[in-house]
């Protein structure tokens, strides 16, 4: 089985970012990372994104707010960031605390700065197959891995386990645009195992540690693992039981070191594009 390493894909995306920046004359676009509270997962993602973007020569501004900020105050602060001409892109770490209406913020964010594709405008564009918008970075990272590794998508049976707005749903639309035949699975899917076995490209985005083992993988399938979980020993792991699929899959992404590394590279690419388009 060939291990599809995220770092190699990320390096190719870096070259694209450099080309976009050179072509646009924008030297160092700025990303604002908006975080409410101090959730360790958010803080770890923020650190990773900052490190990757800065290594690409991009700027990052942290915008942290207290966990108990009111809906009204947060909207006031968010509007300020949204309207700041020095901010080219905004990454909102979610979920937000209950007192803040997340839907309102999704509706407020300037679609041209919405580099993680949360606004209704960008969702609609993905649905319409219009590539002038921004897809959620993780969903696009899956397509980038396949494309950069030269894995054909056209006509392939793609099975996606998970139907969230962050990964499964937008990814299904991106795969459709690439002419795949797409099946989306979720907790009500009957015969998940049989459905997954029929996949030529299997994408795991369920958020369940090692739930997909070799019994779910067809011979020579390509397996892309989006999951980020902690196993019984406290180690990071994906939704796929990586060791068990070695003899079944032809290629697979590891966790860590797979899709996660590509997600932040896609974020950098979106920021460069946002700045170039503005």
Residue 141 CA to its chain's centroid (Å): 6
Give the x-and-dash track for 195-224 against ligand NAP (CB under 6 A). ----------xxxx--x-------------
Structure letter (DSSP) for residue 26: -
Q: Smallest distance from the beta carbon of 100 to ligand NAP, in angstroms? A: 18
Size of the site for ligand NAP (CB under 6 A): 26
Distance of CA 20 to the CA centre of its chain: 20
Q: Is 70 in the site for ligand NAP (CB under 6 A)?
A: no
**Buried-state track 82-98, b at ≥16 Cβ within 10 A, e below 16:** beeeebbbbbbbbebbe
- Rounded to a whole number of angstroms, the minimum distance from the CB of residue 42 to ligand NAP is 12
Near ligand NAP in 253-272, by CB under 6 A: 259-260, 263
- The distance of closest approach from Cβ of residue 160 to ligand NAP in the complex, given in angstroms and rounded to an integer, is 9
What is the contact mask toward ligand NAP in residues 163 to 192, using x (rule: CB under 6 A)? xx-xxx----------------xxxxx--x
Pattern 101-140, ligand NAP, x by CB under 6 A: -------------------------------------x--
Q: Which letter, b or e, does each residue of 137-158 get, where b requires 16 or more Cβ atoms within 10 Å of its Cβ? A: bbbbbbbbbbebbebebeebbb
Structure tokens at 38: 């101090």
Nearest to 185 by CA among 207, 204, 160, 208: 160
- Beta carbon nearer to ligand NAP, 37 or 207: 207
Cα–Cα distance list, 190 to 146, 167, 169, 217 (Å): 28, 21, 19, 16
Stretch that binds ligand NAP, among 30-38, 105-113, 117-125, 158-166 (CB under 6 A): 158-166
Residues that bind ligand NAP (CB under 6 A): 138, 161-164, 166-168, 185-189, 192, 205-208, 211, 226-229, 259-260, 263
């Amino acid at each position: 089985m060939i291990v599809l390493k995220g770092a190699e894909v990320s390096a190719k995306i870096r070259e694209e970012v450099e080309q976009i920046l050179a072509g646009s004359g924008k030297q160092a676009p700025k990303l604002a990372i908006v975080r409410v509270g101090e959730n360790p997962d958010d803080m770890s993602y923020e650190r990773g994104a900052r490190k990757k973007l800065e290594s690409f020569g991009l700027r990052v501004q942290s915008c942290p707010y207290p966990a108990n900020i009111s809906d009204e105050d947060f909207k006031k602060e968010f509007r300020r960031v949204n309207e700041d001409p020095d901010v080219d892109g905004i990454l909102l770490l979610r979920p937000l605390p209950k007192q803040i209406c997340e839907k309102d913020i999704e509706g407020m964010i300037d679609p041209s700065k919405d580099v993680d594709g949360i606004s209704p405008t960008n969702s609609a564009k993905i649905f319409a197959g219009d590539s002038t918008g921004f897809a959620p970075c993780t969903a696009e990272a899956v397509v980038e891995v396949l494309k950069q590794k030269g894995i054909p998508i056209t006509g392939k049976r793609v099975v996606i386990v998970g139907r969230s707005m962050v990964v499964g749903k937008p990814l299904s639309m991106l795969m459709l645009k690439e002419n795949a035949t797409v099946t989306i699975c979720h907790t009500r899917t009957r015969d998940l195992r049989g459905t997954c076995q029929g996949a030529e490209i299997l994408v795991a985005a369920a958020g369940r540690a090692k739930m997909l083992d070799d019994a779910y993988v067809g011979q020579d399938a390509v397996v892309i693992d989006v999951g980020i979980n902690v196993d019984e020993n406290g180690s990071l792991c994906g939704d796929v039981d990586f060791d068990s699929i070695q003899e079944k899959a032809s290629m697979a992404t590891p966790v860590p070191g797979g899709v996660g590394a590509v997600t932040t590279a896609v974020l950098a690419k979106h920021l460069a594009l946002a700045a170039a388009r503005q």
